[in-house]
Chain A
Amino acid sequence: MTDLLPVTALGDSAPRSETFGPLSLSENAGLALASLALRRGQAAPAPFGLALPDVARAVTSGALGAFWTGRGQWMIEAGGKAESDFAAALEAEAPGCSVTEQTDGFVAFEVVSEAGAARLEALMSKLVNIDPKTLGPGCCTRTGLEHMTVFLVRRSETRLAVIGMRSLAGSLWHALSQAARRLEN
């Protein structure tokens, strides 16, 4: 039988990571994603004990997290669970809600600054038309980045997750790494 080798969204055998001065960019290949949407009139559940956040906010609890994607809609994340059937686990936690597997549709890149929030916000201002002041820690939004749609989740002052379409992973990495490299010079 043919040997099948798992590859990441960027086509590599291991997640890619690169450093640009104080900014580092890494592929978070282990991140599992599943979307959760309420049916009409349904109350919000608390899957895995997560209090589902309000508009444009994100919450975390250990390796688990949730961020708002629309009215009555959230994306639930679980670090290191990409290999598991995370949607099924979520569905058990949110009976009656609409849950859809999303891991294979997206790629997640984590940007970390070793030089404080300013450097991270400088990168954002190069790439997206979102005022960094409105995207502080615990905030999230969806916007366009070089014509690609991305979720931005500000995990902390110095850490930003950029979650984009998996089929455009190469283009997204190119956009992020080019901008980071230019900041370095």
Chain B
Amino acid sequence: MLIPHPLLGLRDAQEFTYLGDASLLNRPDPATPGAEAAFCDYVFLRDNPAGVHRELWFHEQGDRSWLVVTRNTLTHEILSAELASDVKAGAAQ
């Protein structure tokens, strides 16, 4: 599998390690009511679709960037890859 790194172009997936569901970017606010239950869901529950999945990959043998990769779990086709820092910054705006 080749991952289209936004800065470095196509890179072998072996250079990356995998974390999973990109919803892990959305850490709950510990100060809100119900935060304990929200954290349980955040830590233990995952979207696990058969189809398009947004997920976090770390370019460990590369520039050490985190990517949000959109990939089809049925075909392994990669639809897009973005820098997670950009995704996070975009969400914050």
Contact = CB atoms under 8 A, between A and B. Distances in A.
- The reply to whether chain A is a binding partner of chain B is yes
Given A143-B15, A144-B14, A134 B9 contact: yes
Binding site of A, secondary structure by majority: helix, strand, loop or mixed? strand
Contacts, number: 34
Interface residues of B, number: 15
B8 interface: yes
Interface residues of A, number: 13
B7 A55 contact: yes
B29 interface: no
B61 A143 contact: yes
B63 A70 contact: yes
A73 B12 CA distance: 22
Interface string A133-170: 01000000111100001000000000000000000000
B48 to A, nearest CB: 28
A133 to B, nearest CB: 11
Contacts of B62: 141-143
Nearest to B10: A131
